[in-house]
């Protein structure tokens, strides 16, 4: 672009008149920074117009001090004071409302979260109670079953007395001859020491012949201490000895805990 042509085009006069678009004005502004002759031209156009317009003004000098008092913050406050309380009030209420709203929102979210937590807890409790109820039902069924067994007239009850190895011990044998089953109530036996198990023996008396019915391997874990073993023997008595884990072929008589014979014998 030829700067002289640009200057002579009359665009700078229009620039000072405020006739250019924002884009054109920016262009002139940039050229003024780049080319001193453009800036000089604009300043001269402006100076000439300032003088021309000033020559139209009434010849009265109005001092800056006449407006100075209205520039400072005091007058500004005075001027705006009518609006300000209102604006402030609106502002404060607006902010207060926003804060209250935000607070309410947070509170609601909190409440919701709390309630969800509570629901979770209640659900867990419910599950737990259901399991407990199920367990209780099972327990009850088992107990009823045991009661039925004990009450059954075909079942023979043989109390086993504590022997020298464990004078305070006792046990009960319920023998269902119909299905060759014995139920052992071992509540009265102490917990076997580690590495030892109780072994149950069926005895015939003349001559004294012991037959192993099996070992009670889960004595400690079992809650009701009632155990079920098969017994197809013509037993005359039952004995329980403490044996090494896995059981023994023949009873260790020194460790005979309980012993009892059938009443009819």
Partner 1 sequence: MQLELLVSKFKQKDEKAFEKLYNMYKDSMHGVIYNIVRDNDIAEEIMQDVFIKAWHKSDSYDATKGRFFTWLINIARNAAIDKTRSKAYKNASKNLNSDFFVDIIESQDNLDNSTDAIGIKKFVDKLAKKCIQVIELLYFKGFTQKEASEALDMPIGTIKTRNRNCIKELRESVL
Residues forming contacts to partner 1 in the complex (CB under 8 A) are 8-11, 13-20, 22, 25-26, 29, 42-60, 62, 64, 66-68, 70-72, 76
Would you say 81 or 178 has its CB closer to partner 1? 81
Sign of CA dihedral 125, 131, 134, 135: negative
Would you say 59 or 153 has its CB closer to partner 1? 59
Write down the least CB distance from residue 44 to partner 1, Å: 6
Residues 6+ apart with CB under 8 A from 261: 158, 203, 205, 236, 237
| CB-CB contact of 228 with 182 (8 Å) | yes
| CB-CB contact of 205 with 237 (8 Å) | yes
Please state, in angstroms and rounded to a whole number, the distance separating the CA atoms of residues 215 and 242.
Answer: 9
Residues 6+ apart with CB under 8 A from 109: none
Write down the least CB distance from residue 85 to partner 1, Å: 20
Write down the least CB distance from residue 3 to partner 1, Å: 15
Burial class (CB in 10 A: 0-12, 13-18, 19+), 108: exposed
Would you say 75 or 136 has its CB closer to partner 1? 75
Please state, in angstroms and rounded to a whole number, the distance separating the CA atoms of residues 201 and 231.
Answer: 10
Query: Over the range 64-95, which residues count as b (16 or more CB within 10 Å of their CB) and which as e?
Result: eeeeeeeeeeeeeeeeeeeeeeeeeeeeeeee
Write down the least CB distance from residue 13 to partner 1, Å: 5
Would you say 13 or 217 has its CB closer to partner 1? 13
Write down the least CB distance from residue 64 to partner 1, Å: 5
C-alpha distances out from residue 247 to 91, 152, 199, 204, Å: 90, 31, 6, 20
Write down the least CB distance from residue 83 to partner 1, Å: 14
Write down the least CB distance from residue 57 to partner 1, Å: 4
Would you say 8 or 87 has its CB closer to partner 1? 8
For the record, the structure tokens of 244 come out as: 């090494």
Nearest to residue 161, comparing CAs of 234, 251, 263, 261? 261
Would you say 22 or 179 has its CB closer to partner 1? 22
Helices (H) and strands (E) in the chain, counts: 7, 8
Would you say 13 or 176 has its CB closer to partner 1? 13
């Amino acid at each position: 672009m030829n700067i002289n042509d640009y200057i002579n085009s009359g665009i700078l006069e229009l620039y000072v008149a405020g006739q250019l678009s924002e884009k054109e004005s920016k262009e002139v502004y940039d050229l003024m920074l780049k080319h001193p002759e453009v800036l000089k031209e604009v300043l001269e156009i402006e100076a000439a117009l300032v003088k021309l317009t000033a020559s139209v003004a009434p010849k009265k000098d109005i001092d800056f001090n006449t407006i100075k008092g209205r520039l400072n913050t005091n007058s500004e406050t005075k001027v705006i004071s009518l609006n300000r309380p209102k604006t402030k009030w609106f502002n404060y209420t607006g902010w207060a409302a926003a804060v209250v709203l935000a607070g309410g929102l947070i509170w609601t979210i909190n409440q919701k979260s709390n309630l969800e937590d509570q629901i979770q807890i209640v659900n867990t409790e419910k599950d737990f109670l259901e399991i407990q109820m199920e367990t209780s039902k099972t327990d009850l069924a088992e107990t009823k079953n045991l009661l039925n067994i004990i009450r059954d007239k075909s079942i023979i009850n043989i109390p086993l007395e504590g022997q020298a190895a464990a004078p305070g011990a006792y046990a009960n044998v319920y023998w269902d001859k119909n299905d060759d089953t014995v139920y052992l109530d071992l509540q009265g036996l102490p917990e076997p020491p580690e590495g030892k198990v109780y072994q149950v023996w069926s005895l015939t008396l003349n001559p004294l012949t012991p037959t192993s019915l099996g070992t009670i391997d889960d004595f400690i874990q079992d809650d009701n201490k009632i155990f079920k073993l098969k017994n197809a023997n013509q037993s005359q008595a039952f004995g329980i000895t403490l044996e090494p884990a896995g059981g023994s072929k023949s009873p260790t008589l020194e460790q005979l805990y309980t012993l009892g014979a059938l009443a009819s014998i």
